[in-house]
Structures are given as C-alpha cells and as structure tokens.
Chains A and B, each alone.
Chain A
Amino acid sequence: MIKLENIERRYISDEVETTALLDVNLAVASGEFLAIMGPSGCGKSTLLNTLGTIDRPTSGQYWFGDTDLAAMGEKDLAKFRAAELGFVFQSFNLIDELTIQENVALGLAYRKDVAGNKAERVAAAMDTVGIAHRARHFPHQLSGGQQQRAAIARAIVGQPKLILADEPTGNLDTANGEQVMNILTALNDDGATIVMVTHSPSHADMAKRRIDMLDGRIVASAMRAI
C-alpha cells in the first residue's frame, strides 16, 4: 500500500544543516501494524510526519498506492489527509473549545466526499473506543486515557486507510496505555493499517512488525513471531 523510496529529509537553518531522514526505504502493506522504535532524535516522528504528509521529504518518492505523494501540491495533500489518513498524537491535540463529540466529528469536517448521516458515524466511532458516555464533555473534563481514546475516535471516524500514531501511550499511565493499545490492536484486527511510533518495547511487541531507527536511518526490521 505504501512505499517510501530513498527518502531524505534535511532541515536547513541559518547555521546548521540537520539530516532527519537518510536513505529511508520502507514498504507498508495493507492491514499491517508497524511499530517504529529508536532513541530520541533518531527521526521516528519525522518519518511518521512524512507518512502523514504534514512534513515533506527533501528528496525521494512516497507512493501511496499508485500516487506519488511527494509530487503532490498542498491543496491535494490536504484532501488526501482528510480522506485517507487518521492521526493519533502523544499529546492528544483535541480542540479545547469543542466537546468530545464535536472533536470526533471534526474528523469528517473537511471531508467533502462523505455523504449520509455523519452523526451516526461519529457515534459509532465513539462507541468503538468506549467514549460515547463522555460525548458532551470538553477535553479538559476527561482523563488522559479518555482524551486519547477520543483522539483515536477522531482518527478512525473517517474510516482512513492508514492510521498514524505518534507515541499514543507516551502521556498515559500503564493501565490507560494498555487500553489504548488494545483499541489499536482491535482496529488492526478489523483491517486498519497502523503505523505507530513508540518508546515502549512491550507496546511495540503488540505490532505485527517493528523497525528500529538510528540517526535517520532504518537499521533493523523484524516481524513478530506469531
């Protein structure tokens, strides 16, 4: 489904040039659950952001199906994100002024192609993550675990082909972390493709495949023994 070829990402500022990704080649098949691990600053998040098209590679190709995303304009990329991707962040990134239900519905707000009853889809997504009873609450009224589940609901409400999770359990305690991982696993079992950045080896173990990064390169790749 996804193929990255010779991806390179350099940040150039006035004085220094930083290479965040170097010679990254990666293929993610449909239905896969991929965990990306590595020490801080190794390029995990940059890789995830590149996959999510909110960061653009300096060179290389990014194939999503038959489309080269690296060559696509901003406007089309925005449309692409709205239709095909779901994001989950370590810091949840819910909008404070909107209720949980409205935050989840925001996942459909920029979709022009979704017809029919959006409310039902929002309700279904909230059900999936077990947050429906908190629909009318505001983010600050919820625990971290509940907020992250709401963020997952927002990510899946548009039924994206790919879910990108950037340390989804990083801000959560163990119990809440487990709960979130169980949801992601279940989503994957139902057919969702997931790419997740994590520091936690045990959570990485719950993915089907794991890659390790160091200094902007992929240094190891391993399939989970089933």
Chain B
Amino acid sequence: MNRFALLSLYRSLTRHKLYAALNIGGLAVGIAVFLVLGLYVRFETSYETWLPHYDEVYLVQTDSRVPDQPFSGRHHWTMGGLLEQLREDFPGIVGTRIEPMGASIIQDGVAVNEDLKRADDTFFDVFDLPMAAGEGRRALADPGNVLISQSVAERFFGSSDTAIGQTMTATIDHETRSVRVAGVFVDLPPNSELEFTMLTRLPDDADSPWWSNWGSTSLQTFLRFSNREDARQFEAATNAFVNRRATDNYEAPASDQIGINLLPIADWHLTPEGREPDSRRQSVATLGIVGLLTLLIAIVNYVNLATSRAALRAREVAMRKVLGADRAALIRQFLTEAIATVAIAGLLALIIVELTLPFINAAGGLELSIAYLGGDGVVVPLILLSLVIGLIAGAYPAFLLSRYPAASVLASAKAPGGGRAGTRTRQALVAVQFALAIAFMIGTAVLFAQTQHLRDSDLGFDREGLLLVRSMYLLDDEAQRRAVQSRLEALPSVRFASMSDGVVGGGTSTNVDSFAEGGSPPISMRRIAIGPAFFETYGTRLLAGRYLDAQHGMDDATSLEWEEPQNVVINTLLMRSLGYSDPAEAIGKQIGRGAPPRTIVGVVNDMRFLSPREPVDPTYYTYYEEPKYGVMTLRFTGDPRVTTERAREAWTSVAGEIPFEAETGTESLQEFYEDDERATRLFAIGAGLAVLIGMVGLWGLASFNTARRVKEIGIRKSLGASATDIVKLLVGQFMRPVLIANIIAWPLAYWAMRTWLAGFDDRIELSPVHFIGASLIAIAIAVLTVLGQSLRASRTAPSWALRHD
C-alpha cells in the first residue's frame, strides 16, 4: 500500500463525511458495546484471580444429596469442625476456615460496623493475601490481634504504618474487647467473594454442639493443593471419608445423603448454591453474547456499506489496475484501509467507553474500569481486535473490489456493485442484522416485562410499608432488648411490630424439618419462629382456622420441648404437600405420623420472602410469646425515611453503643432483583445500540442503493411510474430481508427467552405481543429509515435522472 492509498482513504473519509460517520461511528459503537460487555464479562470471570496462586485454592462445598429438599444441592458452606476431621484423616492437608462474624468498632463513643471475618492461623498457608504492613501469618497466631484493610487503617489511624500496634475497641460475637492491630492487608478488590475488611483468629469452638454436626453449614472451609492431581485424588477419597465420619448424623452409607466437593475459588463467584438457578453465569454468558453479536452487527454494517460503496470506487480500482496495480496490491490496499478504519473506530470506541463507563457503572451497579496498558490493558487486545475485525470486515470488499475487470468498468458508465450475487449477499447480511436486532428487541421487552412483574407481583404480603430492624441480634441484654422493642412498637407511624427468625429478604436462621408422612421420602418444610402480631404485620391472609397466640395452651413453644405437642400454622404449599386441597380440611390435622406432634390450627397464604428464582418452600410457623432472636419487622404508614429515622432515634436512645441496622422491605428484596435488573439494563443498552447500528447500516445501504438506481428511477418515471410507485419499489426492496429477519428472530428469541424465564419460579408467560410488537417496531424502523431517501429519489426529474451515471 502506497501513501496515495492512505491519502485517498483519508480524503475519502473527510469528503464523504456522512458515509465516514455512519461507517466508523457504527463500528465504534459496536466495538464500544463489545468492550463494555467484554469488561463486564472479564470482571465477572476474574473473581479471585487477583490472588497469587489462586488456582491452587479450593472452596469445600457441602453436597446435600437428598433430592427435592430446600437444602438440596451443593453449598459453599461446611460444618465448623470439618477441617479438623480432614486433618486427622488426610495428614499434611493444607486448609483454613473463614467465618463471617461482623464487628462493631467503637470510636469516640460511636459504633461502626466492619466486615470482620475469623480465620484459622493457617489462613496465610492457603491465601497469599498481599500485605501492606506487618506480617500476616504471625499476626493471626495471637487471638488478641486483628488484621485490617488499608482503607480501615486509613480511616481509623491515618495510614497503614501508623496503624500497626494500635488498639481498637471491638464488639465481636457479643463480646466487647480491645484488639491490637498487627497487620494491614491490601484492600480486597471488588472482584472478590472473600469480602472482609478485618480478619482475626477463629477461636476453637470444638465443644459447641453445631461444630461437628454433619449437614450444618456454619462457615467456609478452604483447602490448598499444589497441583490438580492432588486435588483430584483428594476428591476421589471424600466419599469414603464421609462414610467414616458422618455416621452420627446420617444413616449408612452417609455419602448417599451428604458429600463434600472441591470448587476452585475462581469458579466460586459464578457457581450457584443449592437449588439456586445458574442465573449469574447465564447473565454473564448472555451479555457476552450480546456484546459479540453487537460487534457482529457492526461488522456486517461495515461490509455492507463498503461493498455498496464499492460501486463508487470501482473506477478508482480499475484505474489503479490500469496503472499497474496487481490484485494482491489492491487487496492489500483495501485490507489496510479496513484495518485503518477499524483502528480509528477502535480509538473512537475507547473514547466512548471512557466517557460512558461512569453512566454504565451507575446503571448497572458495577465497578468496571478500563486499563490501557499492562496485563489487563485494552490497548493490545484492541490492536489485535482492529487487525482481526479489519481483516474480517475488509476481506469481502477487498476481494470483491479487486476482482472488477478494469476494461469493462472503464468502458461502461455503470459501476458494478457485485452483481446479483453481491446484492443477494447484502440482503442476506441485512436479514441477519435485523434478525439479531429483532431478537434483541423481543429479549428486551421480555426482560423488562419480567423485571416489572417481579416488582409488582403478589408476594403474599404487602411489600411496601415494612421496616426490618436487623440489628436486634446485637442486643444481648434482655432489658435493653425489651426497651428497644417497646420503643419501636410505640412509634407513631408503626401499626404492627413483630419479631421472627424468618423475614422478607431472609432472616437470622434457616431451619428445615423433615417429617415422615408414611410415604417416602419424608416431606421437608421450612420452620419459621414467630412472635405476636407476625401475620398482622405482614398482612398475611388467613384461609382457615386461626392465628397463634398465648391464649391457647399449646401455641406458645417457649416452654415446650421439641418432642411435646405443639400448635402450628402452615402455608398452602405445605397444605397441598400434606394432601389437603381445602384449607378447612387441614385444620386440626397433624403434621407427621410420628413424633413430634404438630397440630395445624391455621392455614395462611404462601409468602415469598426470598428470590423470585427459587420456589417458595412448604412452611410452618411456630409461636413464641417473647422471641429472643430474630429480626423485628415494623408495619408502618407514611414516608419510610421518617419511620427509619424515628426508629434509629428510638434505638440510639436505648442502645447508642450498638449500631442500628435497618432496611425497608423493598430494600431487602432488592438483592434478589438487582442481578436480574442489572443484566436487564445492560442487555437493554447493548440491544438498543445494536438496533441503532442496524438502523444506521440500513440507512447507509438504502442511500447508496437509491443513488445507484437514480437512472432506473428516471426510466421508470418516463414510462409512467408515479412517485408512490417509486417509493413502494425502493422501500419494498428492503422489506424482504426485514421480513425474512422475523422468521429467523422469532424462534431464536422464543428459545432464548423461554430458557431465561425457566430460571424463575415466579415468572410471566411469553406473550405474542412481545414478538409482534418487536417485529412491528423493526418494520417501522426499516420503513422510516429508507423512506426519506426514497421520497427524495421519487421526486427526481426524469430528464436529470436519465443523464445520471
């Protein structure tokens, strides 16, 4: 490629500004979408890879192998004493436990919450956590020490170095004591599931009843193996280990019911737990595909515009041939042009990404950032991308353009456009482009309809007007707890208040009981312990029987032993599991044929406290006149901020030294929705831009096509065609690929959206409205896109058009 070729490219771009804007702009937006979604995919798949030797570290999963139970599946948690048993049976095994604990740090009389985790002193044998000051391994040996993150060090002590040796007053596990800062670790990056700002030594709790209870999931156990083979061999030996060790809690062979598995920590973030659907991985894959497809649409655009514009360049190509350029030289020229154009688009894309990333982060609740150089830098990949896209996008025009026979091009006034085959290729490309755009539009419509449905759907209780005071568990002093409770109940906007261990958004504990009903397997049901006014607080509908209260002897479980008879209220799912179709029928019946006897005194509607993706569990409620544990739910009227503030004041007046934690019902549900809402927003942004690029491409194509047909239009008009006929002709030409696109898009979108919706227990039905609507919009967009030019072409004077070459 000589300098004239580059010069001619530059001048061509500056002279045909609109074409350049369409071509480069479209490509730049396509690359930008690809880059942003690529950054997102890379972020989501990069969890824990920042940790040195991350590939040697595994999370131990507890695998509950009894099917169809609320706890079925693999969980990221293990019982507390697993590591000790592993050490006995696998001498030399390297592992550590991490237990989330939380701590409140008291500084100047004010309590601040920190993410404290407790770990074994072998933590640093497993995790090569980078330290900013102090020595981590030695620090953890002493239970009186803490390690803090750089940000915590800066917040409390000004810097990492000055923090070492300082003491902090911390309440950890209901005990307030002084701890000494013995090390400062580098802040954990956002792409980490470890999530702690403070680390202290895990005490030896071997005497506690839950510590070695197989099936309990109290903390996380990590193991480190120097190579994959060792890990594999360990895993192969785990069933025998479980059969030896889990005999107290499970019938032999225990490994039929429970097991342990290794999960590489790099897979931790995206691996669903238990019965959770694989939605996070699905979202990442979907958005990755959206990015790739948007890029594909942009490439298709480039090829389409370049080949249709080839007509205008045919003369130049022929002239270059005449002047002695061989085909290879021309192919080189066009490929270099394409690569140069893509490089410009790439640069522009970087600018777009840089400018829009803050908004995208805000819209998606993300922390994406773009690095230019280094291992994570985008410059090198972008250069490679420019080369690859340039070659892909430039290949077709290059080979097409260089093939034109010089003599016929120069002799004829008419420029070639790739012939019928070229037109067909372009139409096929437009069809592909629009198929993707329509599929994207259907996807966006369904995604929005589903997320809207989740926001509005009946959860079985009124989600508005609930305030959850979660910090009740921090109140150890009974008098203080009572005082806080009565203050909260007395707030003027509060209508009802109730303590329970199960609340919207998840409570303080999850209990599942299995009752043999004669048949097998036994029915598993969730047990929620509730205090007075629970159902009134949530606004549950009583379908039969009565609520629980202290007036009925066997209602209050406070002084009852587990084996003693007790009255319970059940939800309709449990009622159906028990084989009753009418709520009244269930009243007075017992759950379970053996002990412990539980008599059903009321049936209430199902309440969805957790993710819309997970099924609601069959549930029964037990009553405690004065529950000591759990979360306090307030049913209030008016502005949530006012009630929250009043509740905070009430709390502080009684327990100022203990941090107040509260959230509204909608806030606590937010965590279940935010992943999907974020994915929906990112999808919508990607899809919207993909449609926009498609429109730009169609517009460009239509304008070139119309320009090419000016003479034909003149002939048709001189033969008596009306302006309407001409518009119909030109618009109709683009309708065919757009209509064909629907045939491709519908099954594609149907399949994709059905798969996505299958991940929700609470979901909408796919409606033809989404499909027809998207197609109508696509057709409208296509018509509007080409209509303007067609109208202009239809008004051309035939005498001028006939002279036009």
Residues 37-54 of A, flagged 1 when their CB comes within 8 A of B and 0 if not, give 000000001100100101
Asked if A205 lies at the interface with its beta carbon under 8 angstroms from chain B, I say no
Bound form: Cα–Cα A78–B323 in Å: 8
A52 with B12: CB separation less than 8 A: no
B326 with A75: CB separation less than 8 A: yes
Q: Nearest-CB distance from B320 to chain A (Å)?
A: 7
CB-CB under 8 A for A93 and B319, given A79-B324, A82-B324: yes
B326 contact from A79, A106, A107, Cβ within 8 A: A79
A82 with B406: CB separation less than 8 A: no
Contacts of B328 in A (CB 8 A): 75
Asked if B463 lies at the interface with its beta carbon under 8 angstroms from chain A, I say no
Asked if B315 lies at the interface with its beta carbon under 8 angstroms from chain A, I say yes
A45 with B322: CB separation less than 8 A: no
A55 with B410: CB separation less than 8 A: no
B4 with A87: CB separation less than 8 A: no
Q: Nearest-CB distance from B322 to chain A (Å)?
A: 5
A110 with B320: CB separation less than 8 A: yes
CB-CB under 8 A for A54 and B4, given A81-B323, A110-B323, A111-B324: no
B11 with A52: CB separation less than 8 A: no
B327 with A93: CB separation less than 8 A: no
CB-CB under 8 A for A78 and B411, given A96-B15, A97-B7, A102-B4: no
Residues 283-319 of B, flagged 1 when their CB comes within 8 A of A and 0 if not, give 0000000000000000000000000000000011011
Asked if A95 lies at the interface with its beta carbon under 8 angstroms from chain B, I say yes
Residues 322-339 of B, flagged 1 when their CB comes within 8 A of A and 0 if not, give 111111110000000000
Contacts of B319 in A (CB 8 A): 93, 95, 106
Contacts of A78 in B (CB 8 A): 321, 324-327, 329
Contacts of B323 in A (CB 8 A): 81-82, 87, 106-107, 109-110, 154
- Per the CB 8 Å criterion, the residue count for chain A at the interface is 32
Residues 371-413 of B, flagged 1 when their CB comes within 8 A of A and 0 if not, give 0000000000000000000000000000000000111001101
B325 with A110: CB separation less than 8 A: yes
Asked if B8 lies at the interface with its beta carbon under 8 angstroms from chain A, I say yes
A74 with B327: CB separation less than 8 A: yes
A74 with B15: CB separation less than 8 A: no
Asked if B2 lies at the interface with its beta carbon under 8 angstroms from chain A, I say yes
Residue of A nearest to B411 (CB): A45
Bound form: Cα–Cα A109–B406 in Å: 18
CB-CB under 8 A for A97 and B12, given A75-B326, A78-B324: yes
Q: Nearest-CB distance from A13 to chain B (Å)?
A: 12
Asked if A123 lies at the interface with its beta carbon under 8 angstroms from chain B, I say no
CB-CB under 8 A for A89 and B410, given A97-B12, A109-B2: yes
Contacts of A96 in B (CB 8 A): 15, 316
A97 with B11: CB separation less than 8 A: yes
Q: Nearest-CB distance from B318 to chain A (Å)?
A: 7
Interface residues of A in 70-97 (CB under 8 A from B): 74-75, 78-83, 85, 87, 89, 91, 93, 95-97
Contacts of B324 in A (CB 8 A): 78-83, 110-111
A81 with B322: CB separation less than 8 A: yes
Which of the four size classes fits the interface of chain B? 20 to 34
A97 with B326: CB separation less than 8 A: no
A93 contact from B2, B8, B315, B325, Cβ within 8 A: B315
Contacts of A55 in B (CB 8 A): 405, 407
Bound form: Cα–Cα A111–B325 in Å: 9
Contacts of A83 in B (CB 8 A): 324
Bound form: Cα–Cα A107–B4 in Å: 11
Interchain Cβ contacts within 8 Å, total number:
87
A102 with B7: CB separation less than 8 A: yes
Q: Nearest-CB distance from A163 to chain B (Å)?
A: 12
CB-CB under 8 A for A109 and B4, given A78-B321, A89-B410, A95-B316: yes
Interface residues of B in 1-34 (CB under 8 A from A): 2, 4, 7-9, 11-12, 15
Asked if A28 lies at the interface with its beta carbon under 8 angstroms from chain B, I say no
CB-CB under 8 A for A74 and B322, given A97-B12, A106-B4: no
A98 with B322: CB separation less than 8 A: no
Contacts of A110 in B (CB 8 A): 2, 320, 323-325, 329
A98 contact from B8, B315, B325, B327, Cβ within 8 A: B8
Contacts of A98 in B (CB 8 A): 4, 7-8, 11
Contacts of B410 in A (CB 8 A): 49, 54, 89, 91, 93, 166
Bound form: Cα–Cα A55–B406 in Å: 8
Q: Nearest-CB distance from A135 to chain B (Å)?
A: 14
Interface residues of B in 526-583 (CB under 8 A from A): none
Contacts of A82 in B (CB 8 A): 323-325
Q: Nearest-CB distance from B261 to chain A (Å)?
A: 63
Contacts of A74 in B (CB 8 A): 326-327
B315 with A105: CB separation less than 8 A: no
Residue of B nearest to A76 (CB): B326
Contacts of B413 in A (CB 8 A): 91
Most buried by B among A49, A55, A106: A106
Bound form: Cα–Cα A69–B530 in Å: 99
CB-CB under 8 A for A97 and B8, given A54-B407, A54-B410: yes
Interface residues of B in 320-379 (CB under 8 A from A): 320-329
Contacts of A154 in B (CB 8 A): 323
Q: Nearest-CB distance from A164 to chain B (Å)?
A: 9
Q: Nearest-CB distance from A89 to chain B (Å)?
A: 6
Bound form: Cα–Cα A128–B579 in Å: 106
Residue of B nearest to A112 (CB): B324
CB-CB under 8 A for A54 and B321, given A74-B326, A89-B410, A95-B316: yes
Contacts of A109 in B (CB 8 A): 2, 4, 323, 325
Contacts of A52 in B (CB 8 A): 322, 407
Bound form: Cα–Cα A97–B11 in Å: 5
CB-CB under 8 A for A49 and B411, given A74-B327, A107-B323: yes
Bound form: Cα–Cα A111–B2 in Å: 11
Bound form: Cα–Cα A106–B320 in Å: 8
Contacts of B411 in A (CB 8 A): 45, 49, 166
Bound form: Cα–Cα A87–B405 in Å: 16
Bound form: Cα–Cα A89–B329 in Å: 23
Q: Nearest-CB distance from B113 to chain A (Å)?
A: 66
Bound form: Cα–Cα A93–B321 in Å: 12
Contacts of A49 in B (CB 8 A): 407, 410-411
Bound form: Cα–Cα A42–B320 in Å: 27
Most buried by B among A45, A46, A85, A96: A96
Contacts of B327 in A (CB 8 A): 74-75, 78
Contacts of B12 in A (CB 8 A): 97
Contacts of B318 in A (CB 8 A): 54, 93
Bound form: Cα–Cα A91–B413 in Å: 9
B8 contact from A87, A91, A95, A166, Cβ within 8 A: A95
Residue of A nearest to B322 (CB): A87
Residue of B nearest to A50 (CB): B407
Residues 403-439 of B, flagged 1 when their CB comes within 8 A of A and 0 if not, give 0011100110100000000000000000000000000
Q: Nearest-CB distance from A189 to chain B (Å)?
A: 25
Bound form: Cα–Cα A91–B325 in Å: 20
Q: Nearest-CB distance from A20 to chain B (Å)?
A: 11
Most buried by A among B7, B321, B411: B411
Q: 12 extra interchain contacts, Cβ-Cβ under 8 A, other than A54-B318, A97-B8, A154-B323?
A: A49-B407, A49-B410, A54-B321, A54-B322, A75-B327, A96-B15, A97-B11, A98-B4, A102-B7, A107-B323, A110-B323, A166-B411
Q: What are 30 A-to-B residue pairs whose CB atoms are below 8 Å? A: A45-B407, A46-B407, A49-B411, A52-B322, A52-B407, A54-B322, A54-B410, A75-B326, A78-B324, A78-B325, A78-B326, A79-B324, A80-B324, A81-B322, A82-B323, A87-B323, A91-B410, A95-B319, A97-B7, A98-B11, A106-B319, A106-B323, A109-B2, A109-B4, A109-B323, A110-B320, A110-B324, A110-B325, A110-B329, A166-B411
Instruction: Give residues in A with beta carbon < 8 Å to B.
Output: 45-46, 49, 52, 54-55, 74-75, 78-83, 85, 87, 89, 91, 93, 95-98, 102, 105-107, 109-111, 154, 166
Ranked 8 nearest A-B pairs via Cβ: A82-B324, A78-B326, A97-B11, A110-B324, A49-B407, A55-B407, A54-B406, A97-B8
